[in-house]
Structure 1
Amino acid sequence: MKEGFKINKSANPIIFAVSDSIGETAELAARAATVQFDSGNIEIIRFPYVTDTEYASEVILEAKKHESCAIVCTIVLPEVREYLIEKARENNIPLVDIMGPLIETIGKITPLKPKLEPGLARRVDEEYFKKVEAVEFAVKYDDGKDPRGLAKADVVLIGVSRTSKTPLAMYLAHKRIKVANLPLVPEVSPPEELFEVSPKKIIGLTINPQKLYEIRKERLKALGLNGEATYASMERILKELEYADAIMRKIGCPKIDVSNKAVEETAAKIIEIIKKNEEPIL
């Protein structure tokens, strides 16, 4: 008998929440229904990972021991679900099948075929929360705000101002990749933490000087500032690029020229580099 399936006989009504995954949905549905009754003595017991007819049979055997027992099931595997339904019918055990009718109904309004894989909803939720976590990480460790994030990141982006570090970090975050980014400025030495990170996790972003000149001038105009400021001077740009290139050479990290690349294109290149370096982030 599967571990945890044997339960003590109870005089109270019992609902078995049966699932071929962890059983959260079946239990929540059962609880939502039981609160409609004044009696608080209805027990709900979860039976997770019922993935074959042998375990389904054990559920029925346990249910038969109780005078007042019902089954609520969220099983997507057809053969297991049908077996459980049939055996419950044979033994006069009330059963509510949640997933079967839903899958059948949805199948009538779409040409797509159901995957019939247990636990898909949970995996989708996990992917969503990983994405949220990565976005929060990108915001927290944007623009070198906290150098402690460099060691925690899946990818560290370095480069001069206006090389798309922040947009890239946010784009990659939606791919569930935790990214920290750090601006390279001649007057400010990079934090020591940068040189403690594996060069395989660091990506240097470079850009054509003329392209950067145009971007910075437009940026100043958008801010209502004088386009002739030092920030957008070619002399300053060349100095910054030379300094950034020296840092990247010292680290020995791969570099990407973002001059004529869209964020999506650069992000794809970053993912390609990381996968090639076999960093286990995806």
Structure 2
Amino acid sequence: MAVKEQNLAARSQERSPCAPLATWFHVHLVSDSTGETLSTVLKAVMAQFAPAKPLEHMYALIRSKAQLERALAGIEAAPGLVLYTIVDPELRRILEARCSELAAPAVPVLDPLLEAMADYLGLEQAMRTGAQHEMNEAYFRRIAALDYTLGHDDGQVAWDLELADVVLVGVSRTSKTPTAMYLANRGVKVANVPLAPGVEPPAALFSLRRPLIVGLVASPERLAQIRASRLGAMNATDRAPDYCDLEAIRAEVLAAKRLFAKHRWPVIDVTRRSVEETAAAILTKLSARRNES
């Protein structure tokens, strides 16, 4: 949507003091790094304001006055809320002063946390731009995790499962792969092992000591719906009739639950969970496990 069209959409929703919350509004994300932090924060906040729809304007890698001027021109053209992560004191001063002139609220989203952390640790901030994106040990750990996870998707390469941090086990369409990839982006090495009727899981799975093994389940009704949609998208509705059969799926899920219970593996029901929520639950279990050892 062009800026002019965005302005029209936003202005058409402007309200009087007694009118309901505007549906559309402009949000400017100004960052001296990639802007990923601001996008994540905005997404988390907007989840609490379902009727409101932000029109995002991203200005990443703002590290000079000329670059900042281009961002300010965009803010002036489409006034709205400004969220920023700028380390350079001079650029911050310019941004805050101009936003004040434009009556555009400017929020330094990391400042409260940085100040609290500095007070708690008794340390001064390093004031390094984009420090979280440096090619340090954590960066290479994340790349290694992605490489491992890609190579161990859907039951591949079962002989070195012991090297995984987490092994996900579940029947088809329980979000094993997307959850594994999300965790890999957090630096966690993940393998996922599918459970299929008539197919024995790899023997190595039952002798693992290092990895956290997590069973993923979902309601048979939800699985039937997802599987039917997948086959429909593939134009394969006439194949593998048991794959979408509700009774057959119930038997699969029951067998999976019995397997998980037999080996005392923690279980997560993904029926009403997003991938992010499932990953968060796994990270919590992994952290507790590591703290115990």
Which band: TM-score by shorter chain? 0.5 to 0.7
Q: Which residue of the partner structure matches residue 155 of structure 2?
A: 144
1:277 matches 2:259: no
Q: Which residue of the partner structure matches residue 125 of structure 2?
A: 115
Q: Which residue of the partner structure matches residue 168 of structure 1?
A: 179
Alpha-carbon separation, structure 1, partners of 2:151 and 2:267: 24
Alpha-carbon separation, structure 2, partners of 1:269 and 1:217: 28
Aligned CA distance change for structure 1 residues 143 and 124 (closer, same or farther; 3 Å): same
1:260 matches 2:272: yes
Per-residue CA deviations over 1:195-248 (Å, capped at 9, x if unaligned) read 111397100001101111111111111111216822111122112112211221
Alpha-carbon separation, structure 2, partners of 1:280 and 1:109: 46
Of 230, 246, 254, which aligns to 2:242? 230
One-letter code of the match for 2:140? F
SS at 2:167's partner residue? strand
Alpha-carbon separation, structure 2, partners of 1:172 and 1:122: 18
Gaps of 5+ in 1: 1-104
Identical-residue share of aligned pairs (%): 38
Alpha-carbon separation, structure 2, partners of 1:243 and 1:121: 44
User: Cα RMSD between the aligned structures?
Assistant: 2.8
One-letter code of the match for 1:239? A
Alpha-carbon separation, structure 2, partners of 1:148 and 1:279: 27
Of 128, 135, 138, which aligns to 2:139? 128
Aligned CA distance change for structure 1 residues 190 and 197 (closer, same or farther; 3 Å): same
1:246 matches 2:228: no
Of 106-115 and 158-167, more deviation after overlay is shown by 106-115
Gaps of 5+ in 2: 1-86, 94-110, 115-123
Q: Offset at 1:107?
A: 3.3
Q: Which residue of the partner structure matches residue 13 of structure 1?
A: none
Q: Which residue of the partner structure matches residue 223 of structure 2?
A: 212
One-letter code of the match for 2:212? K
Per-residue CA deviations over 1:99-153 (Å, capped at 9, x if unaligned) read xxxxxx93321367983389x6896522221111111111000011111232110
Q: Which residue of the partner structure matches residue 179 of structure 1?
A: 190
Q: Which residue of the partner structure matches residue 153 of structure 1?
A: 164
One-letter code of the match for 2:269? D
Structural mapping, 1:28-67, within 5 Å: none
Structure with higher Rg: it is 1
Asked if the contact 2:164/2:210 (under 8 Å) is kept, the reply is no
Alpha-carbon separation, structure 2, partners of 1:200 and 1:135: 16
